[in-house]
Amino acid sequence: MESSLKRQRLIALFLLGCLVFDYPLFALFAGTSSVLGIPLLYVYVFVAWALLIALMALVIERPPD
């Protein structure tokens, strides 16, 4: 049952990923503004990407409650 719950969480992360890496959310960051000199879009993609991987690792590696 535990692994079934984990699978559901992973599917949710998949859907979340589809959302954050696509139009229209993407368009919010596609402008010319920048963070510490790095374009906002670039920062957004990599931060979101890293967070997504961290969440996937969390879902999989967290020991069963």
Partner 1 sequence: MLTATVIVLASFAYVGLLFAIAYYGDKRADAGRSIIANPYIYALSLAVYCTSWTFYGSVGRAATSGVGFLPIYLGPTLMAALWWYVLLKIVRISKANRITSIADFVASRYGKSQVLGGLVTIIAVVGVVPYIALQLKAISTSFAIILKYPDVVMPDQQGAPLFLGDTTFYIAMLLAAFTILFGTRHLDATERHEGLVAAVAFESVVKLLAFVAVGIFVTFGMYSGFGDIFGRASNVPDLSALLVLGGASGNYTTWASLMFLSMLAIMFLPRQFQVSVVENVDERHIPKAVWLFPLYLLAINVFVMPIALGGLMHFPPGVDADTFVLTLPMSQGQPALALFAFIGGLSAATGMVIVETIALSTMVCNDLVMPLMLRWKRLRLTERRDLSSLLLAIRRGAIVVVLVLGYLYFYLAGEAYALVSIGLISFSAVAQFAPAIIGGIYWKGGTRLGATCGLAAGFLVWVYTLLLPSFAKSGWLPIAFLNDGLFGVELLKPQQLFGLQGLDDITHCLFWSMLANIACYVGISLAQRPSAVEHSQAALFVDALRQPSAAGSRFWRGSASVADLSELLGRFLGPQRAKEALAAYAATHGFTHVEDLTADAALVHHVESLLAGAIGNASARVMVASVVQEEPLGLEEVLGIIDEASQVLAYSRELEQKSRELETATGELREMNRRLQELDRLKDDFISTVTHELRTPLTSIRAFSEILRDTPDLDTVQRTRFLGIIIKESERLTRLINQVLDLAKLESSNAEWRETEVDLKELIADSLVATSQLFEDRRIRITTDLQQVPSILADRDRLVQVMLNLLSNAAKFCSQEQGEVEVRLRYEAGTIRVDVRDNGLGISPENQKIIFEKFRQVGDTLTDKPQGSGLGLPISRQIISHFGGDFWVESRPGEGATFSFTLPVGVPARPRAAVAAGGA
Binding stretches for partner 1 (CB under 8 A): 3, 6-7, 10-11, 13-14, 17-18, 21-23, 26-27, 30-32, 34, 36-39, 41-42, 45-46, 49-50, 52-53, 56-57, 60-61
61 or 65, CB closer to partner 1?
A: 61
We find the least distance from the C-beta atom of residue 6 to partner 1, in angstroms, to be 7
Q: List the structure tokens of 19.
A: 């959302």
Query: How far is the C-alpha of 36 from the C-alpha of 5, rounded, in Å?
Result: 40
The region, left, alpha or beta by phi > 0 then psi within -120 to 50, assigned to residue 36 is left
